Amino acid sequence: MTSAPEQEEAGRDASGRSTNGRPAAPAVVRPRTAGDDGPASGRGFLVRPGSPMPLGAHCSVGADGVAGTGFALWAGDAEAVELCLFDADGHETRLALTESADGVRHGFVPGVGPGQRYGYRVHGRWDPWTGERRNPAKLLLDPYARAVDGEFTLPPEVYGHVRDWPEQHVADTVRDDRDSAPYVPKGVVVADAGPDAWRGDRRPGTPWADSVIYELHVKGFTRLHPGVPERLRGTYAGLGHPAAVGHLTRLGVTAVELLPVHQFAHEDHLLRRGLRNYWGYNSIGWFAPHAGYAATGTAGQQVAEFREMVRALHAAGIEVILDVVYNHTAEAGELGPCLSLRGIDNRGYYRLSRDARRYADFTGCGNTVHVLQPQTLRLVTDSLRYWVTEMGVDGFRFDLASALARTHHEVDMLAPFLSVLAQDPVLRGVKLIAEPWDVGAGGYRTGGFPPPWAEWNDHFRDAVRDFWRGALPDVRALGYRLSGSSDLYDWGGRRPYASVNFVTAHDGFTLHDLVSHERKHNAANGEGNRDGTDDNRSAHHGTEGPTDDPAILALRRRQLRNLLSTLLLSTGVPMLVAGDEFGRSQGGNNNAYCQDGPVGWVDWSLLDDPSWRELCALTGRLIALRRAHPVLRRRSFFAGRPRSADGLRDLAWFSARGTEMTERDWYAPGSTLGMYLSGRDIPDRDELGRRVTDASLLAVLHAGEQPVEVTLPGPPWATAYELALDTSLERQSAEPGTLHGAGSVVRVPGRSVLLFRVVGEGG
């Protein structure tokens, strides 16, 4: 405990009463450590003024021709900033950055080059009641650090307050002056990519409408891959290996969407339970590739390794999209660690509540990044541009994007963040995908983001799941989802590819578990099975979880074929999840965010099973079918009106009777729907200005348990129909399908999709 004079210094009198109008707080804990007698002298280093731009650490040549590194940190109204350099043995040298411009502290240090480890100590007010949380005892990661060496383990020393203070309701106000430097990772100086870094690389530039996205985890995708050398498994180099890339090209996907690869930290509550953050939605370094996924080293080598991975994927025609988390950081709420932004300028980087001790939390993760602040918006957009220009990525999926679109009180589609991206010459040309919700009031905005944004379409997910488990009251919702969700996206110039269609994602059941479990099984997460959603819209088809019953197993595989077919035959941009194409299971865990092991990793041994190989082959066949048929990749919404004298439309819906759906049919309970897509009425032109035409297709989706007799539409819709797909079959034939005359009756097996190519449309 502190003495009476120390209490007075902290804003209390000797009796502990507040002297500044705020509630009294416990005494400040100030353990003494080596080096407490002040900053190191910095012998051997000379700090020159340098420049406030660019922010971060950048190698260059000084005015005298001597190479060095310029350092620049926006620190607001900090009283002082020390640049801390670390040698190979961890010895620290502190250098004062005395130059300041517009809140940026800067300096140039000759002799410092790539590979140098560094951090910052920021001096200033410790006043949690007003949101000030600077503590120079804490070594802080440069927000612009382009590589990070080490891993965050979160011992008590890395907290700005006394983490284990007995009275937790005021613990965040008790400053902890123990030095955190021995316990935290360091930033690493990295050389700029240079003008020749991407020479010879060609971005695929896949049009939105032609895209098929494949969501994967860098580590989990390759950790068990038998074709990837052991030393490369679970790394960027492993994902860029021919064995991993080969699976993607055989499948036919056009883009990988990588779960977060920004440097992240593990949450304290997980570390205490012996678990780790696996998914990575806990970012702390928005410029740095996560060091844990590097095979070649963490002293800057991870940057080059990531670039080589991107090159390998680009060479195979595959784009790289990053799942990015700019809505919150790993510093969590007021009881979280002090790792970077909190200690630099807490008020400048985070949204605070009216009680400035607390954080406005629209993310469910303890804090919300304050992108209304110019310097914070600059940090985020600088990071995005860096990943495009220097790291080669092709787009971003924004976690909880509504939190980034909030102004002072509500989500606003004219918010600065959205406006800046829309006009930025670099960012407006890449793929931008919103997860269109957050956890705050008014945060659910599916269908609300403006061009050029695409969105994860959870309406598609829910309608398709409900249809195939027999829970839709009628087929209206399914019709909208199959045809591009015009009810959500046909406004403001948006196109069908604004809808990123998915049935599963990293968050929730895998596709296999979706047809095998009706309840989540998350006990391994250590939260009493309370975590994860209870709204799974799933069905186990006879028994919960694993079974040896051949009939149940066959039905589950059929449902997998139905779900994949529905996804890949729908208008919009389909997104698959790694391993779903061959039956990957998480054992019913629908929130495997902390399962860095076999539960979360892709099990490639499943492909030894012929039935799972067939499912994988079907997925590839469906993607190839989509690629071959422009009618499945429309760039504009269907008109649904006759375009020619014969009365045919670009989109028509049919009942099992072979007649067009009436108003009564749409509202009546039903489990069968026919969708007719006209290939002659595509309003698109190719690069030479020629009309795009295609064969017409008829898809019949039947979710009922029993077979149904379906009459195929007669002339002028077709003269005949050639069967192209039947999901009731375990194996699809490569031979031309059976021909059925127009108006004939076909027997559609229970729970199946039949796809026909139309012969003789219009007459």
What are 55-68's pLDDT values in tens digits?
A: 999 999 998 999 99
The structure tokens listed for 67 are 């190479």
SS3 666: helix
What are 440-457's pLDDT values in tens digits?
A: 999 999 999 999 999 999
The whole-number pLDDT of residue 43 equals 54
Answer with the residue of higher pLDDT: 102 or 736.
102
The whole-number pLDDT of residue 12 equals 34
Answer with the residue of higher pLDDT: 604 or 7.
604
The whole-number pLDDT of residue 193 equals 87
Residues near 624 by Cβ (< 8 Å), separated by ≥ 6? Answer: 252
Does the domain at 639-759 match CATH 1.10.510.10? Answer given as no
Q: What is the dihedral of CA 257, 583, 634, 627, to 10 degrees?
A: 90
Residue 693 has φ and ψ, to the nearest 5°, of: -130, 160
Pairwise CA distance, residues 35 & 491, whole Å: 62
Share of the chain above pLDDT 90, in %: 88
pLDDT band for position 262 (50/70/90)? very high
The closest of 425, 424, 431 to 393, measured between CA atoms, is 431
The closest of 330, 343, 359, 350 to 154, measured between CA atoms, is 330
Q: What is the dihedral of CA 307, 311, 317, 319, to 10 degrees?
A: 10
The whole-number pLDDT of residue 642 equals 75
Q: Is the dihedral of CA 243, 249, 250, 252 positive or negative?
A: positive
The whole-number pLDDT of residue 737 equals 83
Across 31-68, b (16+ Cβ under 10 Å) vs e yields eeeeeeeebeebeebebbebbbeebbbbbeebeeeeeb
Out of 406-410, 520-524, 625-629, pick the least confident. Answer: 406-410
Does the domain at 56-189 match CATH 3.40.630.10? Answer given as no
Q: Give start-end residues of each CATH 2.60.40.1180 domain in the chain.
A: 639-759
687 has catalytic annotation = no
Out of 19-23, 187-191, 417-421, pick the least confident. Answer: 19-23
Mean pLDDT of the chain: 93
> Crossing angle for the helix pair 341-349 and 374-389, nearest 10 degrees?
120
User: Of the residues 82, 142, 157, 399, which is catalytic?
Assistant: 399
399 has catalytic annotation = yes
Residue 345 has pLDDT above 50, yes or no: yes
pTM: 0.94
Mean pLDDT, to the nearest integer, of 26-39?
38
The closest of 363, 393, 401, 331 to 163, measured between CA atoms, is 331
Pairwise CA distance, residues 518 & 352, whole Å: 40
Residues near 376 by Cβ (< 8 Å), separated by ≥ 6? Answer: 348, 349, 369, 370
Residue 273 has pLDDT above 60, yes or no: yes
User: Of the residues 177, 323, 390, 435, which is catalytic?
Assistant: 435
The whole-number pLDDT of residue 14 equals 32
Out of 85-89, 601-605, 637-641, pick the least confident. Answer: 637-641
pLDDT band for position 762 (50/70/90)? low
Residue 22 has pLDDT above 50, yes or no: no
CA 10 to the chain's CA centroid: 43
Count other Cβ atoms within 10 Å, centred on residue 578. Answer: 25
Element of type H or E holding 75? none
What are 512-559's pLDDT values in tens digits?
A: 999 999 999 999 999 999 999 999 999 999 999 999 999 999 999 999
Q: Give start-end residues of each CATH 2.60.40.10 domain in the chain.
A: 56-189
Pairwise CA distance, residues 26 & 166, whole Å: 10
Residue 268 has pLDDT above 80, yes or no: yes
Out of 25-34, 103-112, 246-255, pick the least confident. Answer: 25-34
Residue 342 has pLDDT above 90, yes or no: yes
